[in-house]
Amino acid sequence: MSSSPNSPSVEARLAGTPRTRFLQEFFGNSAYFPIANILLEMLIEGPLNYLRAPDLYTILCASLFQAYWLSRWQITPRPHRFWGNLIGPAVYTVIEALLEGPGFFRRPQHWAYWGFALLIGLLQAARPRLSGLFSALALILEDIVRTAILFVTYAIFEVLTNPQQAHSLAAFFSDQSHQFIALLIPLVGLSVGLADLTAQRYLGLLLQTSTQLKTYSEWLLGRDLLNRIVANPNALTLARRERTVLFMDIRGFTRWSESRTPEDVVAMLDRYYLAAENVLNRHAVIKFKFSADEIMAVFITAAQAAAGARELRGEVKSLLLEQKLGAGIGLHTGPLVEGLLGSAGVKFYDVIGDTVNTAKRIESAAQASEILISEITRQTLGIDLPVDATRQIAAKGKDEPVTVYPLT
């Protein structure tokens, strides 16, 4: 029933896979100017000449390299958005300058690449440090800057191909088509920015809701079961399996709680539950649940259950001794039916069968700070215990006594 190692956890699904983050970073940020530059230089130099030159492949590799690092840094405490946006132009400049020499720096589009990288990097680095209206304005301005790439590369194209129309700003804007583009592109950027802002806020709300639902689901199912059922909705279909079941119960809890206020009882139980949860999370427990002073846990193997029981005994012993209490633990191994039970609208994970009932009966016979295991659990563990330590206990519903052993 363990989940596949290739199945992403709930956290990974919420954060996005490395491939998804990379594609989002490449197409949503790093590739914008390179695409415009490729079209610009292809039109100027001719498609065949440009495809034979290294420029196309250099700028693509540079932007891919930038997207790779930015996507990796995205989920770290310091995403390095400013410096990350300079990776593409830096790699492109170093390689092309070595190939072309000083002539590389005479092309205005290469300076434009650096200019847009600096502006976008500054805005992306500043946005997490801003809040409210200022953060929203930074996001909108970033989209306006990004759409301005279209106008700037178009203007460069006009300067290089029609110098008589672009010897001055007045001459350039005397063309009504240039006026139209100069007005349209910032408005498009504003529209894109507002849409992006709405999408970001909605995505934030979805992530917040998903995180809350994940927390509530883990309370009911546990992390391991939740990850499995998300990866495979049929993973918890009712099925017969062999498991080792652990029960732990506080001795004298009812009598102790009668002389305490409900608040005191709850406070002690919270500490008891936390101590048990910390232990069980360190072992391969499929599922554990709390019911008043009783704890039940289901393990894949008897060895894991025995290790968890020993650590559990040591962890709660000092806590319970403060209240002059102790807990008994029982383990039993055998077949059971596990999976989701319930109606079409309400389901819960549980284990059903004689193995569960027997484990509970064994626990009931254990004294404070004692771990009792059944004969089949002892055999599964492959350990020899002293014959004189053997005990026979009566179990409800069984004709013959159950043989148990104390586990040291």
For CA atoms 7, 343, 285, 320, the dihedral sign is: positive
Distance, in Å, from the CA atom of 100 to the CA atom of 59, rounded to the nearest integer, reads 14
Token output for 120:
């976008």
pLDDT mean across residues, the chain: 89
For residue 82, pLDDT beyond 70: yes
pLDDT (tens digit, 9 = 90+) per residue, 365-381?
999 989 999 999 999 99
Distance, in Å, from the CA atom of 159 to the CA atom of 163, rounded to the nearest integer, reads 5
Check residue 72 and give its pLDDT. 92
**Are 373 and 407 within 8 A, CB to CB?**
yes
Domains and CATH numbers, the chain: 10-219 (no CATH), 236-406 (3.30.70.1230)
**DSSP for 227-273?**
HHHHH-TTTTS-EEEEEEEEEEEEETHHHHHHTS-HHHHHHHHHHHH
Distance, in Å, from the CA atom of 239 to the CA atom of 51, rounded to the nearest integer, reads 60
Judged by DSSP in three states, 368 sits in coil
1/138: higher pLDDT:
138
- Of the pLDDT bands very low, low, confident and very high (cuts 50, 70, 90), residue 3 is very low
- Of the pLDDT bands very low, low, confident and very high (cuts 50, 70, 90), residue 327 is very high
**Are 100 and 125 within 8 A, CB to CB?**
no
For residue 283, pLDDT beyond 60: yes
Residue type, 254: T
Our measurement of the distance from residue 55's CA atom to the centroid of its chain's CA atoms, rounded to an integer in Å, reads 38
- Of the pLDDT bands very low, low, confident and very high (cuts 50, 70, 90), residue 62 is very high
Enter the pTM of the model.
Answer: 0.66
Residues in contact with 163: Cβ distance below 8 Å, sequence separation at least 6, in sequence order: none
Check residue 13 and give its pLDDT. 66
pLDDT (tens digit, 9 = 90+) per residue, 117-147?
999 999 999 999 998 899 999 999 999 999 9
